A and B are shown apart, each in its own frame.
Chain A
Amino acid sequence: MKTNNRTGNLSKQRKKRMLIQAMGALIFNGNWKNFINGNIYKGNLKNVCVPVLNCYSCPGAIGACPIGSLQAVNNSHQFNFAFYVIGLIALFGITMGRWFCGWLCPFGWIQELLHKIPLKKIKVKPTVHKKATRLKYVLLILFVFVIPFFTQDPYGMSSPAFCKWICPAGTLEAGYPLLLTNPVLRQAVGYIFGWKSFLLIITIFFSIKIFRFFCKYACPLGAIYGMFNKISFYHMECSSDCIKCGRCSGVCKMQVEPYKTPNSAECIRCGECVEVCPVKALKLGFGNEKSNNQ
């Protein structure tokens, strides 16, 4: 009976999260008419970064992408350090950690939908997975900070290297919708778009095979939020009631062991481990104080 209750709770939790993710995608890309007329929103809401990886050139985007904005300010001719954007990203991180990845990110949601396609899945070995998760930190340092800094022109400006060479979210959410509806842009397509389309295909293929492939191994915003998971106000705690049955690790699709590392940088706070815990030892919230582990 208890097992049935837990399965029911887990199913409810998954449906609830899916619904909130869908709402997040619709709200962050709420200018739907722009998907038809091939333009982008130009209002004042774009002064502010959204807390998720959502390209500001997506026709429906109502806010600025934090990673795009970070590169834009760092590599403008006026400034070399983006206090405002880094401050906003850190504010999102210190309050909720990677909760935004799990509950609001449109690209994360798209990857989860792709993973529902019933094709044979790849189970990445823990040792390989652990090493591969470091790739996102390398991409963050190299493509968001180092390459743009060293490729500045005499006026101190450079291209946003991550957006230009890597970001599959930009290709999917902005590139294809704009090129499909805007004939002027279609004429300018070159080899970079081919390269980015190739990366997008790779991302789609591996997202079908591996749960949140891009989030796990390549997302620079996830890398930043992950660093905040250990200290964020919203966090997980594992109490001394834990019987170390391992059910939490078994249900975790991000390959975290919540009873050992409840605040792992890989945890996207989906809350499924909390639902399956038979003794309710795991708690997610802003101020649980009865615990053993951090």
Chain B
Amino acid sequence: MNLKSNKLYLRIIRYVLLILIVISIVYGILRGEVQIVLRNAVNICLDCIGIG
């Protein structure tokens, strides 16, 4: 495969991945993962500081 088609291939991979990533984020938000992130982040994580 020549350099030009390699670059085209890479560009396609980037955009396909970007679309999958956006879908993943939106799906995660819709099913309520954000609340779990917030709940953990606003309470002192005893495990993180070495007490839990």
A: residues with CB less than 8 A from B are 40-44, 46-49, 55-57, 61, 63-65, 68-69, 72-73, 76, 78-79, 82-88, 90-91, 94, 159-160, 163-164, 167, 170-171, 174-175, 178-179, 185, 188-190, 192-193, 195-197, 231-233, 289, 292, 294
- Cβ contact within 8 Å between B48 and A72: no
Chain B hits for A179, CB < 8 A: 49
Chain A hits for B33, CB < 8 A: 73, 79, 82-85
Contact of A188 among B3, B17, B32, B46 (CB under 8 A): B46
Given A56-B45, A69-B40, the answer on whether A90 and B50 have CB atoms closer than 8 Å is no
Q: List 16 A-B contacts (CB under 8 A).
A: A43-B42, A46-B42, A55-B48, A55-B49, A83-B24, A84-B33, A87-B28, A88-B25, A90-B24, A164-B47, A170-B45, A170-B49, A174-B44, A178-B49, A185-B51, A289-B7
Q: Which residues of B (3-42) have their CB < 8 Å from a CB of A? A: 3, 6-7, 10, 13-14, 17-18, 21-25, 27-29, 31-34, 36-38, 40-42
Chain A hits for B52, CB < 8 A: 159, 164, 192
Contact of B28 among A64, A85, A170 (CB under 8 A): A85
- Cβ contact within 8 Å between A163 and B28: no
Chain A hits for B21, CB < 8 A: 87, 90-91, 94
In the docked arrangement, what's the CA distance between A94 and B21, Å? Answer: 9
Q: How far is the CB of A19 from chain B (nearest CB, A)?
A: 28
Q: How far is the CB of A66 from chain B (nearest CB, A)?
A: 10
A-B pairs with lowest CB-CB distance, top 4: A84-B28, A83-B28, A87-B24, A87-B25
Chain A hits for B40, CB < 8 A: 56, 64, 68-69, 72
In the docked arrangement, what's the CA distance between A190 and B22, Å? Answer: 42
**Interface of chain B, main secondary structure:** helix
Contact of B37 among A73, A232, A292 (CB under 8 A): A73
Chain A hits for B14, CB < 8 A: 94, 231-233
Contact of B44 among A57, A72, A160 (CB under 8 A): A57
**Nearest-CB residue, chain A, relative to B23:** A87
Q: How far is the CB of B29 from chain A (nearest CB, A)?
A: 6
- Cβ contact within 8 Å between A294 and B37: no
* A/B pair count, beta carbons within 8 Å: 152
Contact of A178 among B10, B42, B44 (CB under 8 A): B44
**Nearest-CB residue, chain A, relative to B4:** A289
Given A72-B36, A87-B21, A87-B22, the answer on whether A160 and B48 have CB atoms closer than 8 Å is yes
Central interface residue in B24, B41, B42, by most chain A CB within 10 Å: B41
**Nearest-CB residue, chain B, relative to A200:** B50
Central interface residue in B21, B25, B27, by most chain A CB within 10 Å: B21
In the docked arrangement, what's the CA distance between A107 and B24, Å? Answer: 28
